[in-house]
Each structure stands twice: as structure tokens, then as C-alpha cells.
Amino acid sequence: MGSNKKKQHQLARMFRRQNGHCAWCNKKMLPPGSHKGKGRVPPMLCTFDHFDDRHSDERGKHAGEYRNVAACWTCNNRRNAMQEANVPKEVLWEKSGSPPPGVRDDLRRHQREI
């Protein structure tokens, strides 16, 4: 089974395990796969969310399916925006591997000076 299919099955299991409710706001979600990519994403669409965000020191320390949760699109995106707002831009750029070109050159110069 491909990675995408595996993730879809996992999201469906999490949706059922959580009785169709968002892990963060506890509101009823639309089932995974109910939006076929046409138009705006419904705010209550079930999405795949990591319990520990990508900037967390805890990321990768938990094994198994319980490191992920089903969350509505709104909570998933709001949570991500709040977490990224607390991370310095330089760290975000470094983790993404693609800071803006002018900033990338400045960072390299600065690192050589240190």
C-alpha cells in the first residue's frame, strides 16, 4: 500500500476513533475524503495533524498512530500559524532549506564571522 493510501486509511481510523470530532475544538468534522478539491476547503473538513508540531523538541519521540490526531481544517491551520509565530524566522528558513536569496547570503556571511 502506498504512503498516501496508508495515510488516508490512518486518517479514516482516527476519524472513527474520535467519533468524528476534532481533537482540538471537539466539533463534529466532515469525513475525510468528502471534499474533492473543488473550491474552498470546508472549515470542518477532517485533516491529519501531528500531536507534536514540526518545531517541537518532542517531535519523533512518540511511536505509533497516537502521535497523530484528526483535526478540523480550521484548528489544524490555526494551530500551525500560532506555532510558527513563536519560532524565529531564521529557524523556519533554516528548517525549510530555502530562506530568501538575499537573507541566505547574509546568514552565510554571518555564520562565517562567528
Q: What is the pTM of this model?
A: 0.66
The reported pLDDT for the residue numbered 100 is: 57
Domain interval for residue 35: 3-87
Identify the residue with better confidence: 39 or 2: 39
| Residue 26 domain-assigned (yes or no) | yes
pLDDT in tens, 74-92: 999 888 777 777 777 777 6
Asked, for residue 112, whether it belongs to a domain, the answer is no
**Is residue 62 situated within a structural domain?**
yes
> Looking at the 3D structure of the chain, how many domains does it have?
1
Per the document, the length of the chain is 114
- Do residues 25 and 72 make contact, with C-beta atoms less than 8 angstroms apart? yes
pLDDT in tens, 4-33: 888 889 999 999 999 999 999 999 999 988
Q: Which neighbouring-strand residues pair with 68?
A: 50
* pLDDT for the residue 87: 72
Tens of pLDDT, residues 56-68: 666 667 666 567 8
Residue 50: name the closest of 40, 35, 60 by CA. Answer: 60
Residue matched to cell numbers 529557524? 91
